[in-house]
Amino acid sequence: MTDLPIPVDADRFLADLHALRGFGATGTGKGVCRPAYSTADLAARDWLAGRMTEAGLAVQVDPVGSVFGLAEGRSLLVGSHSDSQLEGGWLDGALGVVAGLEIARAAREAGGPPVSCVSFQDEEGRFGVTTGSAVWSGHMPLERADTLRDADGQTMAEARAGLGDRVGGFVDPARFSGFLEMHIEQGPVLDSEGGQLAVVEAIVGLRNLTLTFHGLQNHAGTTPMRLRRDAFQGLALFTSRINERFRNVVTPATVWTIGHVSVHPNAHAVVPGRVTFTLQWRDGESFRLDRMEAIARETAAEVAAELGLDLETAPLLDLPPVPMDPRLRAALETGAEAEAPGRWRNLPSGALHDATNVAALMPVAMLFVPSIGGISHDFAEDTAEADLVCGLRALARAVAALG
């Protein structure tokens, strides 16, 4: 393993990854419970800060609680997040953080290039969504983030108070030449194909439409079929038509989901008078998101007219796609080909990441390792250690090449 320009230590990397897992370990498999600002999260961040200091990096905790380990001068930034879901896996976020630490440490030991590392706060959205990087990148003012409440009603301002005297100022983004994030895929593609690595093409855009069909609630025994205005039948017809029509527009990477369905009054013997549901779709290209939105809106209006329903549409949630920087992405591809020849591919990221926000500040790119069974946000989340090390080495090659 000494053939690398930045000679990362795989054993030390894995030992640190397992050490981080100790903070909030649930005892169920390798699972962790380390939500943002929890005792376990703050202890993990203090431990990380200690490891950064030992590696000769200058620690700076920003007002949201994101922990930076800063090299001198202008550098690449490598990292992810160390907070977890309430029922979280040991790798989601933690992998990218410890990879950043190891590469920054190994680069410093080898006399360069300068590499900084980071663990963003609240990527998993106890308060918002990717909150730490959203505030840092200017997507959300800190004053607004402070008013966000968690499921128990606590505000982020109250949670931030727990950071105490750890807090410094915001880190100047101008000191970084780019951001690289390694992450588990959180999907089944690499695992099902036996692939080892994926270089992300784009973090896909997401649109979420909440629709309601209003029909006529009626007795399911005494109302003939021809006199019904059954809201659920509207949803069933909408679903089959959308499936047909989207097939002419999508790529194999496009996804769409009807994930939330609420039927009223939801009783065996009552013709549904109202159905509210969500259609969410994701793709790397805005024009395709537009086409799908047009089809969804037209089909919903058409179905409502055919079945005598009224259609209500809530405001659209619209997160645009974030393309990866071509130069950073090429460096990751070269690193992937060196470490996993013939066993890497390009993939869109179907999930949001801190890189989504950081892209507003600097060039970004991402590298995926496989998720066994496609499982994440679950205690059972895991990846073969050989694949974790393969990812670390490919990332180190990219960092060295980008200098």
What is the contact surface with its own copies in residues (CB under 8 A)?
185-189, 192, 204, 206, 208, 218-227, 230, 232-233, 235-237, 239-240, 243, 250, 252-263, 266-272, 278, 280, 282, 349-352, 374, 376-377
CB of 359 to its own copies, least distance (A): 17
Which residue, 55 or 237, has its beta carbon nearer to its own copies? 237
Q: Which are the contacts of 149, defined by CB distance < 8 A and separation ≥ 6?
A: 127, 155, 156
- Which two three-digit tokens encode residue 22? 């100790």
Q: Is 183 annotated as a binding residue?
A: yes
Which residue, 26 or 217, has its beta carbon nearer to its own copies? 217
Which residue, 2 or 222, has its beta carbon nearer to its own copies? 222
CB of 393 to its own copies, least distance (A): 24
Rounded to an integer, what distance in angstroms lies between the CA atom of residue 196 and that of residue 41?
Answer: 30
CB of 259 to its own copies, least distance (A): 5
Q: What is the largest CA-CA distance in the chain?
A: 83
Ramachandran class of 8: left when φ > 0, alpha when ψ lies in -120 to 50, beta otherwise: beta
Which residue, 323 or 374, has its beta carbon nearer to its own copies? 374
Which residue, 106 or 253, has its beta carbon nearer to its own copies? 253
- Which two three-digit tokens encode residue 254? 């496009």
Contacts 24+ apart (CB under 8 A), 133-138: 133/66, 133/354, 133/356, 133/357, 133/358, 134/357, 135/63, 135/64, 136/62, 136/64, 136/66, 136/170, 136/171, 136/173, 136/357, 136/358, 136/361, 137/173, 137/357, 137/358, 137/360, 137/361, 138/360, 138/361
Cβ distance 133 to 66 under 8 Å?
Answer: yes
Q: Is 219 annotated as a binding residue?
A: no
The helix-helix angle for 39-54 and 94-109 (nearest 10°) equals 10
Cβ distance 400 to 5 under 8 Å?
Answer: yes
Q: Is 377 annotated as a binding residue?
A: yes
Which residue, 311 or 330, has its beta carbon nearer to its own copies? 311
CB of 77 to its own copies, least distance (A): 24
CB of 31 to its own copies, least distance (A): 17
Which residue, 155 or 239, has its beta carbon nearer to its own copies? 239
CB of 320 to its own copies, least distance (A): 14
CB of 131 to its own copies, least distance (A): 17
Burial (0-12, 13-18, 19+ Cβ within 10 Å), 243: exposed
Which residue, 62 or 124, has its beta carbon nearer to its own copies? 124
Looking at the DSSP bridge assignments, the partners of residue 373 are none
Which residue, 166 or 291, has its beta carbon nearer to its own copies? 291
CB of 151 to its own copies, least distance (A): 14
- Which two three-digit tokens encode residue 251? 């790529």
Closest by CA position to 242, among listed 299, 197, 290, 202: 299
CB of 203 to its own copies, least distance (A): 9
- Binding residue ranges: 81, 92, 124, 183, 377
- Binding residue ranges for Zn(2+): 81, 92, 124, 183, 377
